[in-house]
Structure 1
Amino acid sequence: MISVKNVLIVLAVAFSAYLAARGLWWTAPVPQPLVVVTTLGLYLATTWLCIFWEPASVRSAPHPVLADVPAPAHPDDAAPSATDGFRGPVPLPVAAQILALACAVIVPSAISLGVGEASRTAPFATWYLGGIGALMTVVMVRRRPWTAWAGIVMLAIASSVWMGPLNALALGLVGSIVWVTCAQLLVFSMDRAARDTSRLTRLQRAATGWQTSQVVRQRERRVQVQKALAVAGPVLTRTVARNGVLSDSDRLEARIAEGRLRDEMRGPRLLDDEVRAELERARRRGANVTVLDEGGLDDVDDATLAVIRAQLAEALRAASSERLYIRTSPDEHVAVTVVGRSPSVGAPSDEDSVDLWREIPHPGRV
């Protein structure tokens, strides 16, 4: 599979191999060729190890979303960047960092000794300026900025000692510094883009959820309007047809229709056919019934609701109070409270006594 990551890996391998190959293109006698070749092998092994080494534990572990991960206390401990469908470079293991720093110390000195004093500024001897710069660029991309900059400092010191500061700057040290700087800026920009992408993804999901909830609410309102028309439509039709002159039975039907509408709006999760029938029976005998669902049953499944409704219907069936108050309860053990009040014998007409108190428990929470 061709991806940006695979392309960058191929380019890094090819470029490091090209820089090492320059070290074998000798245009003058080399006093210690074995040292030069061994150093080239060390450089290539270290660079390719830094490119490819990804611990199995890191590969198998899920990568967190950058926006959800707290900022690390140390830049070298930065978490790998990952968003939906995006995976950034993972941090370089400590062993590879040590090898990279060792390479930054050993390679300049070994090459300078191997080629001899007369050839230390020749192209086949100065390749390490770009080579170590490329290695530290890889280390930077692998999220180890302190290690990368430490390697650049070691390269600058060693090259200045062996060929002089001006020659080092003129022959490639500046380019290595620029590469590492650009790599750090690139990683920073990539992580920022990943965080922005993650944030936008969450915002998009929130907007989609809000839009879905609005559609559901609109559908619920349409259903409520249809129920209202079904309940109140016949009563309103008779009222208009008789010019508002209603019989006692028509007035009773109007009061029952009003009660049904209030029940459907205030406590829909408390209602089923059996509960509706008991509420209508209580109203027909003259009781004043109030139904309120204040959110206590929002997380209750249908099977549990069926049990609660059956107990509510049973409580209403046995009630004889003139005023009935049915409310959901905020208590975690009580689902619904049914309170009945009736005028006390011998008491003033505006004083009622409680003659019914029924608490319907949550099934399984008692």
Structure 2
Amino acid sequence: MRRDCTRGTDGADRGEVVNAFGIGSRPLWLMMGVFACGYFLVTLYADSTVTGWWQWIGLFAGFVLFVVAGVTILDSPGDPLPTPTTLAVAGLAVSAVAATLFSLPFPPTHVMQTGPPMGASVVILAFVAVRGRPLAAWLASGCISVIATVWGAVSTAGALWGLSITLPGYAIMIMGSLFSVMLRPMARQIYELREANERQVALDAAAAAATEVRDRRLAALDERARPVLTRIARRESFSADEVVVARLLEAQLRDGIRASGLDLPVVRDAAWRARRRGVHVVLLDDGGLAALDDASAATARERLALAVAALLDEVDDGRVTVRIQPPGREMLASVGVDAGHRTDRIEFDHRVIVAADSARETPASGG
């Protein structure tokens, strides 16, 4: 059974680890939105002296690439992150850094011009590591360092200076990798324990329900059958009427076992009266009510019982077979009537609406 807590707001299956870290949650979406706004504002401030239109196109393209990468890493289902998605996010991060750095003035004119792309790339790749792809995150980080080194040499700021702006991000990468290596197994264990607890609760509930059914049947047996069984044990004799009552009682107890879904007072009384009139009544329950939720099953059971009782009261001879269908059938239950004056098959759908499948009146036989 898959838990609801492993699904995001769109219903996609994200996995226990992703859910444990809150990836895809509304607070994280909000924080990433705040980060994107900060990225945009810092870029506008630090690059206020940039006048080339092609440079602004490059800066804006880098921002868009980072946004796409962020949305993808937060919204994509699966754990670990699927390989195609991993490659796409890593490629977007590397491309965004390259587009941004090579759109800056040569040499840079403000110390904060490299801050937004470096910070954004570290955040994106740290999420890649947390989502189970640390190797891809480190390879992408290495590519970014190489690009920054080349850019530093080309922009006359110096190759070592270009490399140095990427080094602080590795501390965050190490932290993300440790999360991936140490906390991901722990998150899985937490959810496995929770799932085991849910299974145990379900088993306990099923055992309690079975105990309740057994106690109810024992109580019914004690109430209805004990007097007859006691007289049999004492070797007392029975009159003809008492023998009829004992057989009716045996049939009623059998109904409670074979047709628990119809074991209601109104059906028991109607079946008792029909059998006393000479009708052969067979009640069967193949579990169709179990496929419904508790409220629907209770309503359907009550209405079905009333309808079955009414049908039993209409028959004076012959045979009546009532069957609750197995789960998955189109019809909830069916009643077959084979009496001297009628032969009917009546079906009940899941809203307990009676629909005659076939009905034909036959004349009563003479003599």
The TM-score range, normalised by the shorter chain, is: 0.5 to 0.7
CA offset at residue 134 of structure 1?
A: 6.5
Cα distance in 2 for residues equivalent to 1:263 and 1:357:
22
Residue 214 (str. 1) matches residue 207 (str. 2): yes
Q: Is the 8 A contact 1:232 1:257 kept in 2?
A: yes
Q: Is the 8 A contact 1:329 1:337 kept in 2?
A: no
Count of aligned positions = 283
Q: Quick check: which has more Rg, 1 or 2?
A: 1
Letter in 1 for 2:337: V
Cα distance in 2 for residues equivalent to 1:220 and 1:64:
47
SS of alignment partner, residue 228 of structure 2: helix
Alignment of structure 1 residues 112-151 onto 2, 5 Å: 136-143=121-128, 145=137, 148-151=141-144
CA offset at residue 182 of structure 1?
A: 2.3
Larger RCO, structure (CA 8 Å, separation 6 or more): 1
Question: What is the CA deviation profile of residues 158-197 of structure 1, one whole-angstrom value per residue up to 9, with x for unaligned ones?
Answer: 56787998x789x969966854752552453455655554
Letter in 2 for 1:269: G
CA offset at residue 222 of structure 1?
A: 1.7
Alignment of structure 1 residues 1-366 onto 2, 5 Å: 71=82, 73-75=84-86, 100-102=97-99, 110=107, 136-143=121-128, 145=137, 148-158=141-151, 179=171, 182-183=174-175, 185-186=177-178, 188-189=180-181, 193-194=186-187, 197-240=190-233, 242-243=234-235, 245-298=237-290, 299=292, 300-329=296-325, 331-333=329-331, 335-340=333-338, 356-362=343-349, 363-364=352-353
Letter in 2 for 1:138: V
Q: Would the alpha carbon gap of residues 75 and 252 (structure 1) be closer, same or farther in structure 2, given more than 3 Å must change?
A: same
CA offset at residue 279 of structure 1?
A: 1.0
Q: Would the alpha carbon gap of residues 318 and 174 (structure 1) be closer, same or farther in structure 2, given more than 3 Å must change?
A: closer
Q: Is the 8 A contact 1:337 1:358 kept in 2?
A: yes
Cα distance in 2 for residues equivalent to 1:365 and 1:147:
67
CA offset at residue 129 of structure 1?
A: 11
Unaligned residue ranges in structure 1 (runs of 5+): 14-34, 40-45, 79-90, 115-124, 343-353
Cα distance in 2 for residues equivalent to 1:217 and 1:77:
53
Q: Would the alpha carbon gap of residues 151 and 63 (structure 1) be closer, same or farther in structure 2, given more than 3 Å must change?
A: closer
Question: What is the CA deviation profile of residues 295-320 of structure 1, one whole-angstrom value per residue up to 9, with x for unaligned ones?
Answer: 23332543443332222112211223
Q: Is the 8 A contact 2:324 2:333 kept in 1?
A: yes
Alpha-carbon RMSD: 5.2
Cα distance in 1 for residues equivalent to 2:171 and 2:143:
14
SS of alignment partner, residue 288 of structure 2: coil
Unaligned residue ranges in structure 2 (runs of 5+): 1-20, 36-45, 51-58, 130-136, 356-367
Cα distance in 2 for residues equivalent to 1:213 and 1:107:
68
Question: What is the CA deviation profile of residues 65-97 of structure 1, one whole-angstrom value per residue up to 9, with x for unaligned ones?
Answer: 856x9836221667xxxxxxxxxxxx99x6x87
Q: State, as a whole percentage, how many aligned pairs show the same letter.
A: 20
Q: Would the alpha carbon gap of residues 275 and 132 (structure 1) be closer, same or farther in structure 2, given more than 3 Å must change?
A: closer
Give me the TM-score of the superposition, normalised by structure 1: 0.56
Cα distance in 1 for residues equivalent to 2:354 and 2:311:
20
